[in-house]
Copies of this chain bind each other. A is one copy, B any other.
Amino acid sequence: MTFAARTYVALVHHPVYNREGRVVTTAVTNLDIHDIARASRTYGLAGYFIVTPVLLQRKLVSDIVAHWMANEGIPDQPRRQAMELVRVVPSLAAAVERITGDHGAAPLLAATAARPAAHTVQWERWRQDCEDDSRPVMMLFGTGWGLADQVFEQAQIRLSPVWGPTSYNHLSVRSAVAIALDRLFGR
């Protein structure tokens, strides 16, 4: 199984930081569902988890996905193919459990952050490591002001920030996911 075909993206709405550095739960953004599903489909991923502990938010996402999946008569087949990848879960633990059930092995968790940190892995190096491996992989992206430290502590891999040639590191999470997938699977 190729690296992409056993890789999942998780968009984490809790636990993440807010502007003041407190751990909060962010609201789901409609375009995050669409843009990241389309990017995940483009690069051939196995699935896209939207993680929120808020029941009504999970229901909102499920309703949006069901809307696009049900519209078989309308011509937006590409949108439907992207939406097929979306899985809605209350926690990262629930996502890990689903992946483990599907693959018979627990996923390697790889956290991403805009902030610099110690012990980060370079993208190209990590891509090669994963291609030589056979385990499923879940890449974790934080909404708000980024993943809480407790998520990083669970992750086996911490990827180096997606930066350009400037010190400005305020990409949207949608852009960061697209760039990350292109770095790993776009060649």
Contacts and interface: CB of A to CB of B under 8 A. Distances in A.
Contacts of A39: 171-172, 175
Interface string A170-183: 11101111110111
Given A164-B186, A179-B178, A182-B164, A169 B75 contact: no
B181 A41 contact: no
Nearest to A19: B75
Interface residues of A, number: 38
Nearest to A34: B172
**In the A-B complex, the 6 residue pairs with the closest CB atoms:** A175-B178, A43-B164, A78-B170, A42-B164, A179-B182, A44-B166
Interface string A148-187: 0000000000000011111011111011111101110110
A186 B2 CA distance: 25
Interface of A: 2, 4, 19, 31, 34-35, 38-39, 41-44, 75, 78-79, 81-82, 162-166, 168-172, 174-179, 181-183, 185-186
Contacts of A183: 182, 186
Given A44-B166, A172-B174, 8 more contacts: A35-B175, A41-B170, A42-B169, A43-B164, A162-B182, A162-B186, A174-B174, A179-B182
19 contacts: A4-B164, A19-B75, A31-B31, A31-B174, A34-B172, A38-B170, A42-B163, A42-B166, A42-B169, A42-B171, A43-B164, A43-B166, A44-B168, A79-B170, A81-B168, A164-B182, A165-B185, A172-B174, A176-B178
A176 to B, nearest CB: 8
